[in-house]
Structure 1
Amino acid sequence: MNTRNQFKVRYFYLALAIGMLGATAQSCSILKKKKKAPVATAVAPKPKADSLKNPIKPYAEVITSKAVTQKGLFTVHKIADKYFFEIPNKLLNKEILAVNRLSKSTPGAGNYGGEEVSSRVIYWELGPSNKLFLKVSATVSVADSTDMISKAVASSNMNPIMAAFPIKAKGKDSSSVVIDVTDFLLSETPLLSFDAENKKAYNLAAQVADRSYIESVKSFPINTEVKTIRTYTSFAGRLPATSEAGAITLGMNTSFVMLPEIPMRKRMYDARVGFFASANIRYKDDQQKVEQEAFIHRWRLEPKEEDIEKFKKGELVEPKKQIVYYIDPATPKKWRPYLIAGVNDWQKAFEQAGFKNAIVAKEWPEADTTMSLDDARFSVIRYFASPQQNAYGPNIADPRTGEIIESHIGWYHNVMNLVHRWYMIQAGAIDPRARKNKFDDELMGQLIRFVSSHEIGHTLGLRHNMGASSTVPVEKLRDKKWVEAHGHTPSIMDYARFNYVAQPEDHISEAGIFPRINDYDKWAIQWGYKPIFGTANAADDKKILNKITIDSLASNKRLWFGGEGRDQDPRSQSEDLSDDNIKAGLYGIKNLKRIVPQLINWTREDGEDYSDLKEMYKEAVGQYSRYVFHVLKNLGGVMVTEKTYDQPGAVYQPVSLARQKETIKFYNEQVFTTPKWLLNKDILNKIDPGFSFNDVQIVQQGVVASVTSQTRLYRMMINQRDYGKGAYSPREWLKDLKAGIFSELISGKATDEYRRALQKMYVGSIITMYNKRFALQGSTDNILASVTPTDVLLYSNVKSLAFAHLKDLRKDITNGISKTSDYDTKIHYQYLKQMLDKIVNESPIPGLNY
């Protein structure tokens, strides 16, 4: 879950969420036997100059009796303030995943502990002159060793050397090498710190050496963990830490994790099923073009050898290795059962994939001193005492195959405040339990349980499915029997928090209000985890899965994966419900009208100030804003349904003209007409001095700015060009907008201050549309270098349409001045006319500046 627009689970992938982490094609060399030199005339070769600079000392001289040693992936020796890694020879040239995360953050820095900063595949390689190289597996090209092209792949790719270490000593029987890593661990290498792009994103300047240090280095059987504290000068003056100290201090955690010796079989990525994925470029002898090979992230879940036949017959069997999550011992005891339940709820989904007891949560065995929370063999739900209102569910996956190796879920204590706000405002009208400033433990526990399930879904490889709720007919959300049986969304991976559509008279219980692991989630787990027998490779598996996907989607629309809401599809949005965002928004507003007048009573705490009232009122306005902006995607929207050649129908379809006209009607009635029900004086006179625009005006102006944006008008023109009369004519759209925003010009009624601010905003937006440079997303000032001639032609149409609309508006305002007898309204219109006179009296095409 993410409170910055959407749950910020920090994963990096390309378009369609595909990360470009790849395995390196390795080639073997044959060592020729050296000839023996004649004994009598043998002359010791002169040592090379570099070898003299880097002499290898006896092991005992480097790793002295004072060393504190930890054995693990890398054997770590600490002597005073020095750290040494002892790398076994058997680990040389073996790929290791290095994941770099923030572990601690300065308050207000715009980041939080747990965020992934970067990940890379690295390996150790012996170099000349007694050096050990740390190399980055930077290539994403692979080829089967049986294909001749594998030689070309191997010879065409050279991996960069990130660091070079003088070998200080060799271990017993020369089976390992020892290097000093002290300076390296505190260096600003991107492996352990920030690259230039991330430093800019986090507003960081130079690292301050005397305020940065190594916090700890721990080693375990399959991982080594390096924790550092790094202080940076910062130019982000708005932060308290920057203004007081001129710096930001962050904790960094770098995990070196050994990749499996035997790679798991891949399961190829399919855009119709929402899994995180990695990708590489595959070369084959029989190819006619280079292919991108993408594969999903999933745990290695296999039946035991003795159970395979039972599994094939459809009997549920236990896996060879269970997926186990441990609960951090720092977790308050009363919340542990609910976190555990959120994990165990996934057992039903894995049963659909053929496994029983496939996943389980356990309390951390505090008495067992052999276990560590930092050990990558154990996945843990970590509990943080933090004001951050969030939880996140990452996974560490093998970039060669997508196999999930481990996961550490981050759970912030204050996430309970977040779900409290959501539930009071979204469910307060239908659930009496939501009408308290402090929820009963049972209700809060159930809220924790659903969030836990959502985050676990991410650690199983599942992405958000923002479109799931759009498969539910809006009226079914008010049907008690139906919604309690089927749930208000088919996926816990949706951001469809609670059933805000249900009305008090529907008497919907918790089963119809809360999200749950549902049809889509079970099907996705089956698709990703059920083993396929009798096939030769992942490519053969893909053919079988494609048939399953086509048949499943054809028979059950609730299995649709609607993406993560990053396109212009109004069906795929966070925090929305149902197949009709307009009706759902109207039902939601109806409930908000019941809730807002009760907020003073529901937040009342004798002896306390009105801080809680202010927080809940802002949440109510925020919920209203969600309903309003859900509807916005209808305007110029395009529905995207991923398909393959063997599926009928179009991938892209415009939103219907009727739905777009309903959208303007919704705005004219629910937004542009002042929502006085939300301007509750009893609340505002306790929380808002009224010296500036209030929250309602901010929502109104945000809608006007977005609805009249240059890019939206351009997109609507594209739709009209591509889809003809079935699309919303931009001219008609602006005419309908004007009729709603300036209805007083016809009626002669007086305008209130909200309407006057709205009308000024509208006129200013259209003027901006007319004057502004063409600004397609991703374009530069030299627009002709980045758009087609058709784009330029359409843009000239944007300017001419905006100019014509301004002329019409000026004429209407001129006529409206004489119709009103209200003084404030009259001088308001006169001011707008003066603004428009300047535009209209200029040349109609004032030197187009592309």
Structure 2
Amino acid sequence: MKHIIRITLAAIVMYSKLYAAERPLSFDKFYKASMKITPGTFTIYQDNDKYYMEIPAQILEKDVLVIGDITQGYSSLIAPSSGVIKFSQGDSSHLNIIRQEYKEAVSPSYNQEMEPLVRLSNLVPVSFVVKIEAYGKAPGSVIIDLSRQLREGGQFFSFRDFNALSRPDPERSGVQTIKAANDAVTFTVLRTQTDQSTQGGGKKMEIASAFLLHLTFQLLHDEQMQGRESDPRIGFSTVAFNDFGKSPYSVKNVKLIRKWNLSVKPADTTAYQNGVLVAPANPITVYIDRNMPSLFVPYVEQAIRQWEKAFAAAGFRNVFQISRNEEDNRLLYGKLLIKWGSVYNNADQSVIADPRSGEILAAKLTISEHLADNLLPWYFVACGLKDQRVISNFNNLQVKGELLEWVTANAMGELLGMENNYSGSNAFSTSQLRNTSWVKTHGLTSSVTDAIPFNYVAQPADQLPVNTLIAHVGAYDSLAIGWAYKCFRNEQETKQYLSNISYSNTALRYVPQENNDPFTQRLDLAADAVNASTLGIKHIATLYPQLESITAAMPGGDQDWALFDELSKAMLKTYDGYLKNVLWHIGGQSERPVLRNYNDTPVVYVSKKEQQQAFNFLEQYLFNGVPAFMKNKRAIRLKGETMDEAFQRMADAIIARLLNTDVLASLVAAENTMGNKAFTAAELFTLLDKTVFYNFSTTIIPDAHHVSLQRSMVSQLIQAVSKNAITSGLNGANEVLHVYFVHTLKNIDRMSKTHTDSTTRTRYQLLKQDIEKEYLMKPL
């Protein structure tokens, strides 16, 4: 009995010690006179290498913005864990951390009796918990330990998917500074780690990486932004949830657009409603990195001013407050940072938005000179004949600045909440794009969010000023910003704004991007793709034969032919791009939003005439072989690939596209919808027979280029029918494909026996053997 009592007493003592260890300390026991204190909304206590944060009672259950931002290093990543959280009391020793998720709501229109039911039925998930180390000095406040979260990473500031920051070494990582202001505290933290890398030959090397981070907690204001529902006529990114109050009898999926919270000062309300431009109550602070070369800063500022013009449509002026003050070099609420960093192919954009209202809370854009360098060869090919600056000096700094202005203006669309409008580049005709007066007024695209940077349609004889050759904020951009950011007095005003958008006005039309949509391709320009690409090729036809002499005359003389090689490749790549712009029109279809009094045609098919013209263009500039102006012995020696091989490579890709079942399905659908007004799969195959096989003539001897085309055609056809076997069932696309395959096989068999030229007969026999080996011998 005594033994049992001893065991019981020992267990009680052990439990009491464990409970005491788990229980938060009182402030008096926690606090040391040697601690360094950073006072603020979130007071920080530093005890040597330990960092504690006090959370006042009034902040519990309030919205807190948490941001992890790489401010220096070879990445510009924002931690995916960044966003809105709430600190909520858990058990007596822990805080619950709740990340804001918003899936259900009740708006004030209908079903208000549903609101308490929705609220009670939703269990808010706890993302993670943190231990309460001590009670704060003020009643109800608590103190948590952030030391490991700051040095090593954790759930507040998680970079676990970024390998170079996934396991920092705590011995080489630590807090550099602490700054408290604007209801926020920001820790500047160095994180360092070493990784193993396997080099050529299997040799292993250690690679050390270091990043300087800004890790921030910021208390947000209580009032949420009034959300704006999305509309298919204007492209904005969205947040979505189910709303029980939008319909009296059902649940409606609501999509709210992402946008910054711009509002009108009460004193300016009357002026605003009378059409006077006013400054917003809460302008967006734009910090431009002090590390950005001073040469490029004016171009970045000009890109921002382009968007100021768009905000005039929303009734605002002075929306952006540009700063280069290092005090603003923190990613906080209402701030947009434009950083100068390590990006090579595309600008790096990040947006942090509230999932409940769509409000953009903060954003970051990273650019570099590399982005201008990447665009320069393309600009040389597209605009060199019209801009002597790049002909005389390829690395002209003024041109680089103008290209960076476009990069910034293009990226700003996404940072303001917009989706890219890739239909903006085909809003205008080629004749309009060659008219100085038109381009000065309207630009070369209706939206700078389109991916096309410059005007390759205009010709030297058109004499367009060089400052009109690069895209700027256009009519659609002003329309979109006007609708998204205007403070409408009521729902009727909002609907009236939208009703004024005419579908027939191509400059104001938004078309969501689809892979097979010929009108939303990233690099197209003008409403007439064939004419536009023909005009683009005219530049290459003039420039390419002169390329050796042009590069030789540039500073440095291009002694090692490196610049010639770079520009030669750029010309071939651009040429291929012009072919692809036209290619997408064959079998092209475009899905359009259907709305009453706006548009009632859900799918638009490319006309028969345009598709026939597109094929004729491909025949002229690809299937007929290398044009004389593209033949250059110097390029062959440098590239290691003959121009014939390059053209065959391009032809392989284009033939594969023409035989793709997506294209064939579109042609079948168009024929079912339009009847004899449609360009059909049978007509496409007839053109391929004519172009590739000379209509299977028994007397025409194919040249070397057509011999290669025929091999490619057979190879691509075998692959297509193999991937789309009819054993699993017939559909319109695989049916016409297999009919054409049988047709081709019969003709190849006939040609292998009846062609008048013995060598050609042998080639057809080999093609027939390829088909038998690769397809006919396979089980169906």
1:762 maps onto 2:718 in alignment: no
How far, CA to CA, are the matches of 1:48 and 1:330 in structure 2? 57
CA distance in 1, matches of 2:535, 2:500: 35
Describe the SS at the equivalent of 1:284: coil
CA 1:170 to 1:625, structure 2 compared with 1: closer, same or farther past 3 Å?
same
Shift of 1:340: 1.3
| 1:204 CA drift (Å) | 9.3
Deviation at 1:177, TM superposition (A): 1.2
1:23 corresponding residue in structure 2: none
2:521 equivalent to 1:573:
yes
1: CA distance between counterparts of 2:72 and 2:691? 50
- Match of 2:406? 450
Q: Do 1:352 and 1:522's aligned partners in 2 also have CA atoms closer than 8 Å?
A: yes
Residue 225 of structure 1 and its aligned partner are, at CA, apart by: 5.0
| 2:502 alignment partner, SS class | helix
TM-superposed deviation, 1:150: 2.1
Aligned AA (1:445): G
Q: How does 1:685-700 map to 2 (within 5 A)?
A: 685-690=636-641, 695-700=646-651
Which of 257, 279, 290 lines up with 1:296 in the alignment? 257
Q: What is the match of residue 62 of structure 2?
A: 94
Given the alignment of the two structures, is residue 832 of structure 1 paired with residue 767 of structure 2, yes or no? yes
Q: Out of 278, 288, 303, which is 2:239 matched to?
A: 278
CA displacement at 1:472 relative to structure 2 = 0.5
Report the CA distance between 1:339 and its aligned residue: 1.4
Partner of 1:547: 496
Separation in structure 2 between the aligned mates of residue 744 and residue 816 of structure 1, nearest angstrom: 14
Q: CA deviation at 1:689?
A: 2.7
Letter in 2 for 1:150: E
Instruction: For 1:294 and 1:352, locate their aligned partners in 2 and report how far apart those are by CA, in whole Å.
Output: 23
Counterpart of 1:583?
531
Q: 1:267 aligns with which of 204, 225, 228?
A: 228
Offset of residue 300 of structure 1: 2.3
Cα distance in 2 between the residues matched to 1:659 and 1:218: 63
Instruction: Let me know the Cα RMSD of the aligned residues.
Output: 3.6
CA distance in 2, matches of 1:841, 1:322: 69
Matched residues in 2 for 1:724 and 1:116: separation? Answer: 54
- Change over 3 Å in CA distance of 1:727–1:71 after alignment to 2: farther
Name the amino acid aligned to 1:493. T
Residues 203 and 335 of structure 1: CA distance in aligned 2, closer, same or farther (over 3 Å): closer
Partners of 1:102 and 1:817 in 2: CA distance: 69
Partner of 2:655: helix, strand, or coil? helix
Instruction: Give the whole-Å Cα distance in 2 for the aligned partners of 1:555 and 1:840.
Output: 49
User: Aligned equivalents of 1:243 and 1:496: distance in 2?
Assistant: 44
Provide the rounded CA distance (Å) in 2 between the counterparts of 1:301 and 1:402: 13
- 2:540 paired with 1:598: no
Q: Deviations over 1:339-376 (max 9, x none)?
A: 112212222222232223333434x135xxx5544454
1:505 aligns with 2:461: yes
Structure 2: state its 5+ residue gaps: 1-13
Deviation at 1:687, TM superposition (A): 1.6
Q: Distance in 1 between matches of 2:558 and 2:607?
A: 54
Match of 2:3 in 1: none
Aligned partner of 1:383 among 324, 340, 344: 340
- How far does residue 596 in structure 1 lie from its aligned partner after superposition? 1.9
Q: Which residue of structure 2 aligns with residue 161 of structure 1?
A: 126
> Does 2:753 match 1:818?
no
1:36-76 Cα shifts (integer Å, max 9, x gaps): xxxxxxxxxx9988743412223355454444444456444
- What residue in structure 2 maps to residue 517 of structure 1? 473
Query: Are 1:681 and 2:646 counterparts?
Result: no
Q: 1:615 to 1:839 in 2, by over 3 A?
A: closer
* Displacement after TM superposition at 1:698 (Å): 2.9
**What TM-score, normalized by structure 1, do the two folds share?**
0.80
Correspondence for 1:138 among 96, 101, 116: 101
Q: Are 2:455 and 1:493 equivalent residues in the alignment?
A: no
Structure-2 change in CA distance of 1:478 and 1:135 (3 Å) = same
Q: Distance in 2 between matches of 1:644 and 1:228?
A: 53
Within 1, Cα distance between the matches of 2:482 and 2:285?
A: 19
Instruction: State the alpha-carbon separation in 2 of the partners of residues 153 and 814 from structure 1.
Output: 75
**Bigger CA drift: 86-95 or 497-506?**
86-95
Equivalence for 2:85:
122
* Equivalence for 1:321: 282
Q: Does 1:665 align with 2:613?
A: no
Q: Is 1:733–2:684 an aligned residue pair?
A: yes
Amino acid at match of 1:157: N
**1:164 alignment partner, SS class:** strand
Do the aligned partners of residues 419 and 688 (structure 1) sit closer, same or farther apart at CA in structure 2, a change above 3 Å counting?
Answer: closer
Residues 234, 188 of structure 1: alpha-carbon distance in 2 compared, 3 angstrom cutoff: farther
Q: CA deviation at 1:517?
A: 1.8
Unaligned stretches of 5+ residues in structure 1: 1-45, 107-111, 776-782, 785-790
Query: Contact 1:74 / 1:219 at 8 angstroms: preserved in 2?
Result: no
User: Per-residue deviation at 1:675?
Assistant: 2.5
Q: Is the 8 A contact 1:748 1:816 kept in 2?
A: no
Aligned-residue offset at 1:549: 2.0
1:409 aligns with 2:372: no
Is 2:446 the partner of 1:481? no
CA distance in 1, matches of 2:390, 2:754: 48
Give the Cα separation in 2 of the matches to 1:332 and 1:348. Answer: 26
Instruction: Report how far residue 526 of structure 1 moved.
Output: 1.4
1:182 equivalent in alignment to 2:142: no
Q: Check whether the contact 2:268–2:278 (CA below 8 A) recurs between aligned residues.
A: yes
Q: Distance in 2 between matches of 1:68 and 1:806?
A: 83
Q: Is the 8 A contact 1:720 1:727 kept in 2?
A: yes
Instruction: Show the 5 A alignment for 1:76-115.
Output: 76-98=44-66, 112-114=75-77
What letter corresponds to residue 618 of structure 1 in structure 2? K
Instruction: Provide the rounded CA distance (Å) in 1 between the counterparts of 2:215 and 2:677.
Output: 54
Aligned counterparts of 1:772 and 1:246: Cα–Cα separation in 2? 45
- Is the counterpart of residue 806 in structure 1 residue 771 in structure 2? no
Residue in 2 aligned with 1:557?
A: 506
Q: Which moved more, 1:719-728 or 1:398-407?
A: 719-728
What is the CA deviation profile of residues 750-784 of structure 1, one whole-angstrom value per residue up to 9, with x for unaligned ones?
Answer: 55554433322211111112222569xxxxxxx97
1:169-219 C-alpha deviation (Å, 9 max, x unpaired): 111123421112333456776663367xxx5xx789985767985566755
1:460 aligns with one of 383, 394, 416: 416
Question: Aligned pairs, how many?
Answer: 759
Counterpart of 2:4 in structure 1 is none
Give, in angstroms, the shift of residue 466 of structure 1: 0.7
TM-score of the superposed pair, with normalisation by structure 2 = 0.87
Structure 1 or 2: larger helix share? 2
Match of 1:173 in 2: 138
Instruction: Give how far 1:292 is off.
Output: 1.5
Gap change, CA 1:759 and 1:208, over 3 Å in 2 = farther
Asked if the contact 1:490–1:558 (Cα under 8 Å) also holds between the matched residues in 2, the reply is: yes
Match of 1:359 among 320, 324, 331: 320
Residues 496, 577 of structure 1: 8 Å contact kept: yes
Distance 1:104 1:692 in 2: 44
Q: Distance in 2 between matches of 1:119 and 1:59?
A: 30
